[in-house]
Chain A
């Protein structure tokens, strides 16, 4: 009985440990960088000029021309395509930041 209880408790804890990472939608943000810090990036969206702020973490990849790039290459005013996870636009964490050539307003 004790072993069963231990297993059930362990399973519950195990699910609780990974569940927060699974309850997210994916967002794409396209625009120009307005702010970049160690743990945050802000982007002015091309489609509506709204500023979207996102967290950056250790898992966030930076890519340029299909190859890994350094975070130092992210510049204010640079064009980016960001894929981010979150429950809504106000709580996003960037998973990939793609550095792209300057985008003209459509």
Chain B
């Protein structure tokens, strides 16, 4: 009496293997064109990168964003033309020195609807992108142009970190000086060497 039994392991046929390979290649190509190329290289032939916010990821980024905790006191209660907050506004003043072709990002944590006003000036025209980033990493660009200065007010369209990418376009060391005030929680500096520097902000 022999108790051993043979286990039948199904072997896929040649046509099944060919089908699996073909479908895998189609899926790989779809992911590559729809997601990887827009996110990694800014190449967006299908427009999916723009719709999903992936093309912003192709911009050289100092470091993955670190999202501070939400602060309900910094979310405005709108009463007609008045936006009221649970805490006073803060102020900030920074000067950044950028070596040749270096870049930096500087962002404030703002709740949806919260406002700030700002003025920045560079010693030469710089490559610039004023943008915001949600907690899921999806980014939106508000103003992307070469500028030497900008003065304005900003109302956060969504909760997240909002601020500037400045890039030195030339071989000389330059400075960028920023002044701002607003209902932000904190600020953080993303440097090109992948270090992040949080800043304490003052209540005037």
Contact = CB atoms under 8 A, between A and B. Distances in A.
Interface of A: 2, 6-7, 9-11, 13-15, 17-18, 21-22, 24-28, 30, 46-47, 79, 81, 83, 85, 95, 98, 100-104, 106
A44 B63 CA distance: 22
If over half of A's interface residues share one DSSP class (helix, strand or loop), that class is named, otherwise mixed; here it is: mixed
A81 B60 CA distance: 12
**Size class of B's contact patch?**
20 to 34
B40 A10 contact: no
A28 B103 contact: yes
Interface stretch (B24-32, B85-93, B109-117, B156-164): B24-32
A18 B36 contact: yes
A54 B100 CA distance: 20
7 contacts: A14-B27, A14-B28, A28-B60, A28-B103, A30-B100, A30-B102, A85-B40
Given A21-B36, A47-B99, A14 B19 contact: no
A75 B39 CA distance: 31
Contacts of B19: 6
A106 B168 CA distance: 13
A59 B35 CA distance: 17
B134 to A, nearest CB: 19
A26 B40 CA distance: 9
B23 A10 contact: yes
Contact of B28 (A17, A81, A104): A17
Nearest to A100: B171
Given A18-B32, A18-B36, A100-B171, A9 B20 contact: yes
A106 B60 contact: no
